[in-house]
Amino acid sequence: MSRPLRVAIGGVHIESSTFSPHLSTAGDFEVTRGDALLARYGWLSPAEPWAADVEWVPLVHARALPGGAVTPETYDAWHAEILDGLAAAGPLDGILLDIHGAMSVVGRDDAEGGLVTAIRSLVGPEPFVSAAMDLHGNVSHALFDGCDLLTCYRTAPHVDVWETRERAARNLVDALRRGRRPHKALVHVPILLPGEMTSTRLDPAKALYARVPEIEARDGVIDVAIWIGFAWADEPRCSGAVVATGTDAAATAAAARELGRHFWEARDDFTFVAPTGTMDECLDEALVAVKDPARRPFFISDSGDNPGAGGADDVTFALERMLTRPEIADGSVRAVYASLVDPDAVARVADLPPGSPVSVRVGGRIDPREPGPLPIEGVLEAVADDPDGGRCVSLRVGGLSVFVTSRRMQYRELASYRRLGVEAGTVDLVVVKIGYLEPELFEAAGDWLLALTPGGVDQDLRRLPYERLLRPVFPLDRDFAADLTVVAR
């Protein structure tokens, strides 16, 4: 009688910006092990038929909100735990890596490529390795070489996170049952774009990703995936990429070649997903627009310090510009600023009775760029405990509610605003540290502008001090012929 397949699961999942002064440490991560790790995967409880006759071996999984680079001590502990877990696991047929692909570790390059290389040197060439990734991750040659299957999300905003992990797992199990190592093909596409130009809600990314199911359905192709890559790390691996995997070598290479070429040919069509401007230009337009009920609530993305991409979450630039506006100061415009992380400021005011006057400096401690910690003279409006932000307060200044959190978080869901007593759909203006609007906010918005504000994830890539990217890369470089060589294994 044959024994069931044995597949180990683990990984470290974070997108980290080397341009953000924030450092990601163990406290920023949610870590699961054992049954709690396996409980992450819906296809295991109860096990889907394809997953039932497999022994799933949990290693360790750590995930965090995007942030600054991970400190080496933090990363090394999980790297060692994954390898120790594999060493202790006994014979394995497969390994599922549940990773992002844009983790920067201070002083190192290509963290995920290094992980899979270390795994290979421990387990040898036999087990099949499948990686489930974010499309904002990067595919280095080391990562490609170490994996047998690699795939990523097909939507941004990401609404197919769990389908992607299941597909990576299922393709792994299917390949193991066939007993033949998949063919694979990689094309690096020398394009580096902000996520805010590549939403799959809009062309050209929509049309590009729409080709995935069609190509994947061809005979001999298992999976095709398109990585937009990660623009906020100064590492040579950061670039667009296409990977195809399949049972037929020629069909697999053709799929990667075709999709890589499509990506490259679309390069001039990528534009920001919303009209953009400086913070002042966005406020000028918003303060006129809010007189029209159809354009309320008006949203402005404070995109340069978006914690969802790795920003420090405490740059005060956009808030300072809001506070200069008389319509907001005198309360004739009802506005929300969401949010700044500042645990010290929260601790100083959160125990006061609601309605107390407060005078406190907020933000500017992690990312000290201008204008730095900002004095707020207002009233304590609300205190709440948030599952993501920890203890949070709302400080009222004129018509403006300023949200301050104890942990970095992103106000991407209406329920988070409600915890601090604000029904975001009924105010005039919401300024939020985000890039493209996540689905609930997108639905709620009467209108929307993307402010190109300063911060660790500045959307204007020309302002970032790259030194180590592979050049040429579009759009930092133009007028060059791309090398779209297919690397096939």
Measure the N-to-C terminal CA separation of the chain; round to a whole number of Å.
33
Give the SS3 label for residue 6. Answer: strand
In degrees rounded to 5, what are phi and psi of residue 298?
A: -90, 130
Q: Which residues pair with 32 in a beta bridge?
A: 61
Residues forming beta bridges with residue 375, ordered by sequence position: 361
Considering only the stretches 132-140, 257-265, 366-374, 402-410, report the one whose residues sit in contact with Zn ion under the rule CB under 5 A: 132-140
Smallest separation, CB 415 to Zn ion (Å)? 22
Q: How far is the CB of 150 from Zn ion (least distance, A)?
A: 15
Q: How far is the CB of 164 from Zn ion (least distance, A)?
A: 11
The stretch among 75-83, 84-92, 134-142, 291-299 that binds Zn ion (CB under 5 A) is: 134-142
Instruction: Report the distance separating Cα 91 and Cα 150, nearest Å.
Output: 22
Stretch that binds Zn ion, among 30-38, 126-134, 303-311, 453-461 (CB under 5 A): 126-134
Select the span of 128-136, 230-238, 322-330, 372-380 touching Zn ion (CB under 5 A).
Answer: 128-136
Contact between 216 and 279 (Cβ < 8 Å) = no
Residue nearest to Zn ion (CB): 136
Among the residue ranges 49-57, 136-144, 160-168, 459-467, the one whose residues contact Zn ion (CB under 5 A):
136-144
* Residues 386-425, mask of contacts with Zn ion (x by CB under 5 A): ----------------------------------------
Return the residue matching tokens 């929300």: 336
Residue 136 makes contact with Zn ion by CB under 5 A? yes
Q: Specify the residue, 230 or 411, whose C-beta has the smaller distance to Zn ion.
A: 230
- Residue 137 Cβ vs Zn ion, minimum distance, rounded to whole Å: 8
Chain centroid to Cα 147, Å, comes to 22
By CB under 5 A, the residues from 182 to 221 that bind Zn ion are: none
Tell me the C-alpha distance between 321 and 475, whole Å.
30
**Binder among 134, 148, 166, 305 for Zn ion (CB under 5 A):** 134
Residue 338 bridge partners (DSSP): 403, 432
Q: How far is the CB of 308 from Zn ion (least distance, A)?
A: 8
From 131-139, 316-324, 350-358, 443-451, span contacting Zn ion (CB under 5 A): 131-139
H/E stretch holding 382 reads strand 374-386
**What's the CA gap between 341 and 8, in Å, rounded?**
37
The residue count for binding Zn ion (CB under 5 A) is 2
CA distances to 11, 64, 136, 143, 309 from 103, in Å: 11, 10, 10, 13, 12
Span interacting with Zn ion, options 108-116, 130-138, 211-219, 475-483, rule CB under 5 A: 130-138
CB of 136 to Zn ion, least distance (A): 4
Residue whose structure tokens are 């394009």: 191
Min CB(134)–Zn ion separation in Å: 4
CA–CA separation, 395 vs 404, rounded Å? 8
DSSP string, 15-38: BEETTSS--B-GGGEEEEEHHHHH
Q: Which is nearer to Zn ion, 136 or 419 (CB)?
A: 136
Q: Least CB distance from residue 235 to Zn ion, whole Å?
A: 16
Peptide bond into 104 cis (omega under 30): no
Of the two residues 136 and 237, which places its CB atom closer to Zn ion in the complex?
136
The yes or no reply on residue 165 touching Zn ion (CB under 5 A) is no
Contact 457, 196 (CB under 8 A): no
Spatial CB neighbours of 157, under 8 Å, sequence gap ≥ 6: 199, 201, 436, 438, 439
**Smallest gap, in angstroms, from Cβ of residue 195 to Zn ion?**
6
Choose between 146 and 195: whose C-beta lies nearer to Zn ion: 195
Binding site for Zn ion (CB under 5 A): 134, 136
